[in-house]
Amino acid sequence: MTLRNRLAAAALAALLPALPAFAEVRGVVQEVVNPDSPRAEWRRQPVAGAYVALTWSVVVPAPAHATESCRHAEIARTDANGQYVMQGPGFITAGLAKPRVLAYLPGREQIAFPYPGSLSGPADITLTRPARSADERLQTLLTLENPGCSGLEVSDPQRILKAYYESLAGEADGLRPATDAGKNTQRYLQARAKRMPSSR
C-alpha cells in the first residue's frame, strides 16, 4: 500500500465514527386549498396525517444495461404541522442512492408543484383532491399498494404500516366502481389490509 493510500485509509477510518449511523430525513406535506383556481394562483397549507414512503435506489452499471437496486424503504406520517421525520437509510446509501417519494392521504393524490414536470422531493410534497371516477381512483390506490420495494421489507419505526393499508382499504370501500375490475381492486385492498399483522 502506498503512502497516499495509507493516509487516505487513515483519514476514512477517523471520519467514519463521526458519521451518523442513519441519514435522518425531514420534510413537509402540503395540500392545495384552492384546487379549482388556476394553477398559478394555488395556495398550500400543511396537512396532518399524510403517509409518506421513501425508497432509496442505486443504479448498478452492467455491460448490457444498468439495473436499479433498491437499498432502503421507510414509511412515516405527518404531524399536526404537516411535518414528518424518518430515520432514513445508512449514511453511505443516502449519499449514493436516489430517493423516490410516495405520499398518500385518503381523498388526495400527490402532484408536481408548482407545475407539471416539477421534481417533487422529500422536503416538499404537495397533495390535492383528484378529479377522477371511482374506477380511476381505485386504480391509483392499487399503485399505492406497495409503498416500498419488491422483495425489500419496509422499515416502519412508527408502527403505522397496518394503518396505511387499512386507510387504503377504507377509502376503496367508500367508492362505487362501475366495473368488475374496480370491484376486484376493492376486494384485493380489503384482503391486503386484513393480512397485515397488528403493529407492535
pLDDT tens string 34-79: 999 998 899 999 999 999 999 998 887 777 777 888 889 999 999 9
Quote the pTM value. Answer: 0.82
CB-CB contact of 27 with 125 (8 Å): yes
Which pLDDT score, from 0 to 100, does residue 171 have? 96
Per-residue pLDDT, averaged over 91-100, amounts to: 83
CB-CB contact of 92 with 71 (8 Å): no
Which pLDDT score, from 0 to 100, does residue 175 have? 95
Q: How confident is the model at residue 3 (pLDDT cuts 50, 70, 90)?
A: low
Which pLDDT score, from 0 to 100, does residue 4 have? 54
Which pLDDT score, from 0 to 100, does residue 1 have? 52
Q: How confident is the model at residue 22 (pLDDT cuts 50, 70, 90)?
A: low
| Percent with pLDDT over 90 in the chain | 57
CB-CB contact of 138 with 172 (8 Å): yes
| pLDDT higher than threshold 60 for residue 8 | no
From residue 7, give the alpha-carbon distance in Å to each of 11, 13, 18, 19, 70.
6, 10, 18, 19, 33
Distance CA 13, CA 33 (A): 50
Task: List the chain domain ranges.
Answer: 18-195
Which pLDDT score, from 0 to 100, does residue 200 have? 52
Per-residue pLDDT, averaged over 19-31, amounts to: 79
| pLDDT higher than threshold 60 for residue 198 | yes
DSSP designation for 21: S
| pLDDT higher than threshold 60 for residue 26 | yes
Per-residue pLDDT, averaged over 148-156, amounts to: 89
Give the closest residue to 59 by CA, choosing from 22, 100, 103. Answer: 100
pLDDT averaged over every residue in the chain = 85
